[in-house]
Amino acid sequence: MAKPLAVSPLAVPFPAMGQIGGVRLATVAAGIRYQGRTDLVLMDFVAGTSVAGVFTRNTCPGAPIDWCREALAGGTARGLVVNAGNANVFTGRAGRETTHATAAAAASLLGCGQSEIFLASTGVIGEVLPHERITRALPALATGLTPTGWEAAARGIMTTDTFPKGAIRTVTIAGTPVTIQGIAKGSGMIAPDMATMLCFVATDAALPQAVLQTLLAASVDRSFNCTTVDSDTSTSDTVLLFATGTAGNPPVAGNADPALADFAEALDSLLLELALLVVRDGEGATKLVRIEVSGAVSDQSARQVALAVANSPLVKTAIAGEDANWGRIVMAVGKSGEPADRDTLSIGVGGTWMAREGTVVPGYDEAPVVAHMKGSELDIAIDLGLGQGAGRAWTCDLTHGYIDINGSYRS
């Protein structure tokens, strides 16, 4: 087993998490792959909890993704089982058997139907996940459930993560206070098209499943789908949002109900915070980078340009080396496949415009840009000069640490 990874220099302390009415959690060391650490999490939800989910669009998904997509049709959840160390992907019939055995065991313990159990796995692809290690550990998890187990759960789902990730928001719906809080894991194999990570969010708000699903899908598109570490889209991406209804807020008329405005904004904020925590923990990362694109022909085009820059190994290595090489940004814009014109393009870093209209800005002074690039959080601005479209993406630098981690991932 590889030695523990050093904590990311961009790490953020785990927040003080509250309790969500109708939610309990437990974590245990099941020995699925790791030794001497927790790797299995159980979440229990009160009867009637509605659930929404967004999953990877990778065409080789894991067995838990297939299970959750089918379970989501029921609209309600009573339990969630998550394991770290083995992704249960590309495991054929054995993978399907593991999902069925795990769901059956959890459903028996929680007194519900198997279709109300949701599953997620993360870790090595292509190795059979021995479900006996999970089912054997579940009874102890069921007896250890507690409403305060959020940080332990965040640690229990980590793989190459170097710190646990959590966020919390409190807002009102029609005057009734409600809380949203969640945890996430992710460090490598992070790219849009759902983004690569596991994320589990719960709220005590009373919201119908259809409303919850609409809110979650839109929010994920504005957060996780705007982040990238290494351009690789995982087979196991899962975001699940559970609403227990214990806050007792008045019924909402639909996702366009004005009473939901603050909740939707808080959900956006919370998911973006979790997404950026994943980028902060990018394998080998030392810098968090925001790329803002304006002047595009559409918002979608702007986001694609931003992601092309965010995914460029040459841009990311220049950032790692603190090299103010704006030519690499121009290159990445040009390869994006989106409308761009060299003679209307402007590039800026840290508030300093470096290039305009196809060439370097007259009298350009590199000193403030170099100073900005020595920091841990960088801003890149790109104005295409073609229209009103705007978009953004977040990424991290690419260092030798990424190679060290992924070159020995299975050892």
What percent of the chain is modeled with pLDDT above 90? 82
284 three-class SS: coil
pLDDT at residue 393 tops 80? yes
pTM metric for this prediction: 0.93
Q: Is 316 annotated as a binding residue?
A: no
Q: Please list the active-site residues.
A: 196
Q: How far apart are CA 223 and CA 75, in angstroms?
A: 24
Report how far apart, in Å, the C-alpha atoms of 187 and of each of 124, 163, 399, 407 are: 14, 10, 14, 15
Report how far apart, in Å, the C-alpha atoms of 14 and of each of 54, 163, 277 are: 24, 8, 10
> Mean pLDDT over residues 5-27, rounded?
95
Q: Is 255 annotated as a binding residue?
A: no
> Mean pLDDT over residues 238-264, rounded?
96
Task: Choose the CATH number for 23-280 among 3.60.70.12, 3.60.15.10, 3.50.50.100, 3.40.50.300.
Answer: 3.60.70.12
The residue with greater pLDDT, 277 or 229, is 277
What is the biggest distance separating any 2 CA atoms in the chain, rounded to whole angstroms? 72
Q: Is 196 annotated as a binding residue?
A: yes
CA 156-157-162 angle, to 5 degrees, is 90
Each residue's pLDDT tens digit, 333-384: 999 999 999 999 999 999 999 999 889 999 999 999 999 999 999 999 999 9
Q: Give the model's confidence band at 267: pLDDT under 50 very low, under 70 low, under 90 confident, else very high.
A: very high
Q: Where are the domains of the chain?
A: 23-280, 288-407
Each residue's pLDDT tens digit, 150-192: 999 999 999 889 999 999 999 999 999 999 999 999 876 555 4
Q: What is the CA radius of gyration of the chain?
A: 22
- Tokens of residue 317, six digits: 């290595």
Q: Is 185 annotated as a binding residue?
A: yes
| The domain made up of 288-407 is a member of CATH 3.10.20.340 | yes
Q: Give the model's confidence band at 229: pLDDT under 50 very low, under 70 low, under 90 confident, else very high.
A: confident
Each residue's pLDDT tens digit, 86-109: 999 989 999 999 999 999 999 999
Q: Is 236 annotated as a binding residue?
A: no
